[in-house]
Amino acid sequence: MQLSLTLSLLLSALTAHGTVVSLSSSSSSIMGAAAYFMTNDPSENWLISVAVSETGQAVLDFAYNTHGVGAHGLPNVNASDALFSQSSIAVSQTAGLLAAVNAGSNTVSVYTIDKNKPTDLTAIGKPIGSGGEFPQSVAFNAAGTSFCVLNGGNVNSVNCFSVNAKSGTVMPIANTLRSLGLKQTTPATGPAGAASQIMFSADGTQLYVTVKGVPPTPGYLAVWDIATDGSLSESATLVKPPTGGLLPFSMTPLPGKNALLVTDPALGLDIFDLTNGFNSTVAGGNSNAFAVPGQSAICWSQYSTETGHAYVVDAGTSTVSEISVGAQLIPSIVNQYTLSATGAIDSSIATIKKKDYMYILASGSAKLEVLSLNAPGKAQALQSVDLTAPLEKANVDVTNANLQGMAVYVI
């Protein structure tokens, strides 16, 4: 009884200081995972944790003040996907860590995740400066001992940090602040010409960044080598997409294929063959561009280990396309699923009890859409969660166009 009272008093105190707000009194007692997105509001950024049951059902649990502010890219401040990016929130499953960008305050907020109840987060110190302007995307290395952030504004760059959850420290890594050399503004102007995502290679020896082109000039992947001390090569190799590709956006590794699936809203997606590495200025090998019929703005992608297929999200049509990639890296469409909500953007997939569930932030409708990936070609709508009512009830401001990010942590 005394412990329950103490926890209640602590929650009340934290809420009074605007640090954490409870969003539900009925989150699942048997949790299989947690999902996370953020409000990205220019006045106050809130990180939202979502309880996910063992059957994939989602319910909003807590809102955490990141002690930073969001931002919306230009020129259309009412368009979905305010940051023109994927992975504005990143999770380290290995280390139990989460990082989220504060695009309006040029900082990154870092948290530890309670591995038994992953909707419970604890901030590691104050937000740390990103080393540039308009941070858009963040990525952890495989061990969860470091992360890198992508800045896409007037001062555009990558910058990396070591992180130690036990000591509660986040420190810049020497010789990792590298300029992208983009002619950009703060907030960034896009989507064309904006940077999109940062990611470590599977073996941790390289750092990738996607930069969208300004048609007819194609964009590229910027690739830095990572030394054993974590430092980055002085310059990046700039790799253009295969013929037909223009706007490299999100990156998703294809297990067993030694390739990347890169979404491209100019036509659908590009496949980058990694067999010979990035040692050329144009994607080589079996790299190819693939047009998705009827696509409008395919920008986000995920891979399902249980179905063995990739899933790409089209914000313009609110369609999820299931993609199979063959042995010669030739993509094909397995099935397409139309969501009930509009403005579908960021997504993530959680594997719970050998079944995959896809969580999609539909900013146009301020909803969280959940797909059950039952089998190859057999995805079904599981749930549509309203975000506005519970957040507004907790006095957390919600502007549909600002909502951003999606990441999951599985127990």
Domain ranges of the chain: 31-410
Residue 6 is predicted with a pLDDT of 37
Preceding amide of 216 cis, omega within 30 = yes
Residue 229 is predicted with a pLDDT of 97
Identity at 196, one-letter amino acid code: S
Quick one: average pLDDT of 16-42? 82
178-214 pLDDT, tens digit per residue, is 999 999 999 999 999 999 999 999 999 999 999 999 9
What distance in Å separates the CA atoms of residue 138 and residue 114, rounded to the nearest whole number? Answer: 20
pLDDT at 385 over 60: yes
Question: What rounded mean pLDDT belongs to the chain?
Answer: 94
59, 74 Cβ separation under 8 angstroms: no
Q: What are 167-176's contacts with CB under 8 Å, separation 24+?
A: 168/124, 168/125, 169/124, 169/125, 170/110, 170/124, 170/125, 170/128, 172/131, 173/146, 173/230, 173/231, 174/229, 174/231, 175/231, 175/232, 176/148, 176/230, 176/231, 176/232
**Rounded-to-10 torsion of CA 39, 41, 43, 49:** 10
Architecture of domain 31-410: 7 Propeller (2.130)
What distance in Å separates the CA atoms of residue 158 and residue 151, rounded to the nearest whole number? Answer: 6
Residue whose entry in the numeric block shows the structure tokens 């309670």: 114
pTM for the model stands at 0.94
pLDDT at 27 over 60: no
- Say what percent of the chain tops pLDDT 70: 94
Residue whose entry in the numeric block shows the structure tokens 């695009």: 103
37-71 pLDDT, tens digit per residue, is 999 999 999 999 999 999 999 999 999 999 999 99
Quick one: average pLDDT of 163-175? 93
The residue ranking higher by pLDDT, 91 or 15, is: 91
Phi, psi of 6, deg, nearest 5: -60, -45
CA atoms within 13 A on the CB side of 303: 17
Quick one: average pLDDT of 272-291? 92
Residue 12 is predicted with a pLDDT of 37
pLDDT at 123 over 50: yes
Confidence of residue 295 (pLDDT cuts 50, 70, 90): very high
Confidence of residue 246 (pLDDT cuts 50, 70, 90): very high
The closest alpha carbon to 358, from 408, 296, 308, 314, belongs to: 408
